[in-house]
Structure 1
Amino acid sequence: MKKRVIYLAAIFLSLSTVVSAQFYTGIRVGGNLNNVSLPTIIDLVAPNVEYLPGVNLGITTEYGISDHFSIISEANYQEKGFRIRENMDVNLFNLDIPLGVRVDTKVRYVDIPVMAKYAFGNGGVKGYLAAGPQVSYALNGRVKTRADFLFDFNLTNIPINFSTVNYQRFDVAAVIAAGVDIPAGNGKVFFDARFSQGLSDSFKLPVIDLNIKNHGFGFGVGYKMAL
C-alpha cells in the first residue's frame, strides 16, 4: 500500500511539473557577421578574407523544464558568407590612384537550432546561457564583385549554382549564446549574442579536402509570449 502511494505521488508530481511547465513562442530579429575558415593554400592566394554582414530573423519557441532550465528551438532565415578585398595603387598621370576590388559571397540559409538554456538570477530580469546543435539548409546565394576606382561600380552579380561548384546545401554547426530576459506583459523581451562554428565543410571536392567551414557572430532582439 505504501509503495502504491509513493508511485501515485510520483505520477502526480510529474504531471504537475508538466502542467506547470511554461511554453513561449515569439520572434527574433538581428544582424550577424560571418566568415569562413580557409586552408593555408587558399589563405596565401586570398589573404584579405573579411567578415560579411548579414541579417537574421525567425520564429523562436521555448519550453520550460524548470525555473532555470529550458529548451529553445527556432526556425531562422540567415545570411552567411564572406568577403574578399584587394587594394592597390594605380599610377595615373603621375598620381597614385587607389584601386580596390571587393568580392562578396552571400548565401541565404534556413537555420534550425536546438539549444539547452540555463537561466540565472532570482528577480524578474534574468541572464542566461544556451548551447546546442544547428542544422542549416542553403536556399540560394550570389557572388557580387565591386570595383572602386574613382567611384564604386558593380562588375558581376552571379547566382551560385550549388550543383556545379560543389557547395553543400546542408550545414551542421554548434551554437553558443548568452542573453538577458526581461519580463514584459504576458511574456518577455530578450537580447542575445551568439557564436556559431560550422562542423561540416561548405565545399566538397572529390580529391582535396578544403576544410572550409562557416563561422560567425550574431546579435538579436525579440519577444516571446507565454502560451
Structure 2
Amino acid sequence: MKKATTLLLVTAISLLSFQTYAQTFGIKGGLNLSNVLAKDDDDTYSDDFKMNPGFHIGPTVEFPLNEMVSFESGLLLSTKGFKSSEKETDMGDTWEYEVKLNAVYIDIPLTAKTTFDVGGAKIYGIFGPYVGIGLSGKEKEEYTQDGETETYEADIEWGNDEDEDHLKRLDYGLTAGAGIIVNNIQLGLSYDLGLANISAYTGDGTKIKNKVLRFSVGYMFGE
C-alpha cells in the first residue's frame, strides 16, 4: 500500500506540473463495462463472466508535442469488476446464484494522442499505458431457491498476503481508443487491457486481470 500511494502521489504531482504548460485541460466521464480474466493452471473461470456496468470521471490534461501529436493524461475515478450468474432446474426445483465484484480505482492514463482535422470536426486515436490504484470495493453474492434469497457481502481486502488478502492494489496495462472532437466536446471509445496479475493468491498459476470498455464524454477548456 505504501509503495502504491507513493507512486500515485509522484504521478499526481507530475501531472500538476504538466498542466502548467498544457495547451488544454478538461474533464470527462462516462460508462464503464468491466470484466476480468480469471484463470489458473486447470481452467479459465471467466469464460462465462459478464460485463459489469459502472462509471469513470475525472480531470484530464493534454499538451502538444507537434501539430498532430500530443500527450494526454489525467486522474480518473473508475470502477472495475465483473458479474457472473448461474441458473439450474433439477426435478422441478430451480435455484439461481449470482456474484458481483465492484472495485473502485484511481486510474492514470499516459497516452499518446494523434488528431486529424476532418471538415468542422477532428478525429483522434490514443494509445499508451495506464497505472491504477485500488481504493475500495465489495463482493456481493446472492443465492435464490424457492423464491427465497440469501445475500452475502464482503469488503475487498487489498494487499499481497496470499492468506489474508483478495486483490493487489496496483494495476497497470495498455489503453487504446478513438473518438471525435466537435468544438470543445469530445466523444470517445477506449479499451483498457490489464497486464498486471491483481490476484493476491498466485498459487496454481492463478491470475486475475482487469478489462474495461469505456464510453466517454469530455469537455476541453481552452480548445
Superposed pair shares fold, TM > 0.5: yes
Residue type of the alignment partner of 1:167: L
Q: Distance in 2 between matches of 1:152 and 1:144?
A: 16
Q: Say whether residues 1:170 and 2:170 are aligned partners.
A: yes
Question: Which is worse superposed, 194-203 or 141-150?
Answer: 141-150
Q: Residue 198 of structure 2 is aligned with which of 195, 199, 202?
A: 202
Residue type of the alignment partner of 1:75: L
Residue type of the alignment partner of 2:209: K
> What is the match of residue 73 of structure 2?
73
Q: Residue 112 of structure 1 is aligned with which of 108, 113, 121?
A: 108
Q: Say whether residues 1:36 and 2:32 are aligned partners.
A: no
Aligned pair count reads 198
Offset of residue 43 of structure 1: 2.9
Q: Distance in 2 between matches of 1:151 and 1:26?
A: 49
Q: Residue 190 of structure 1 is aligned with which of 186, 189, 193?
A: 186
Q: Distance in 1 between matches of 2:118 and 2:22?
A: 17
TM-score by length of 1: 0.79
Offset of residue 166 of structure 1: 4.3
Q: Distance in 2 between matches of 1:89 and 1:168?
A: 37
Distance change >3 Å, CA 140–CA 67, structure 1 → 2: same
Distance change >3 Å, CA 35–CA 156, structure 1 → 2: same
Q: Distance in 2 between matches of 1:147 and 1:206?
A: 28
Q: Residue 222 of structure 2 is aligned with which of 208, 220, 226?
A: 226
> What is the match of residue 143 of structure 1?
139
> What is the match of residue 85 of structure 1?
85
RMSD, matched Cα:
2.2
Q: Give the conservation status (yes or no) of the 8 Å contact 2:29–2:58.
A: yes
Offset of residue 138 of structure 1: 0.2
Distance change >3 Å, CA 113–CA 154, structure 1 → 2: farther
Q: Give the conservation status (yes or no) of the 8 Å contact 1:54–1:80.
A: yes
Q: Distance in 2 between matches of 1:73 and 1:205?
A: 31
> What is the match of residue 5 of structure 2?
none
Instruction: Output one character per residue of 1:170-212: Cα deviation in whole Å (capped at 9) or x when no partner.
Output: 01110001010111xxxx1000001011111011436433122
TM-score by length of 2: 0.80
Q: Give the conservation status (yes or no) of the 8 Å contact 1:36–1:212.
A: yes
Q: Give the conservation status (yes or no) of the 8 Å contact 2:156–2:166.
A: no
Q: Distance in 2 between matches of 1:182 and 1:152?
A: 51
Residue type of the alignment partner of 2:156: I
Residue type of the alignment partner of 1:109: Y
Sequence identity (%): 25
Residue type of the alignment partner of 1:73: S
> What is the match of residue 132 of structure 1?
128
Offset of residue 42 of structure 1: 4.4
Q: Determine which structure has more spread, i.e. the larger CA radius of gyration.
A: 1
List runs of 5+ in structure 2 lacking aligned partners: 1-20
Q: Give the conservation status (yes or no) of the 8 Å contact 1:48–1:86.
A: no
Instruction: Output one character per residue of 1:84-109: Cα deviation in whole Å (capped at 9) or x when no partner.
Output: 21111154xxxx35421110011110
Instruction: Output one character per residue of 1:17-68: Cα deviation in whole Å (capped at 9) or x when no partner.
Output: xxxx961111111011111112253436x75322111111111111122331
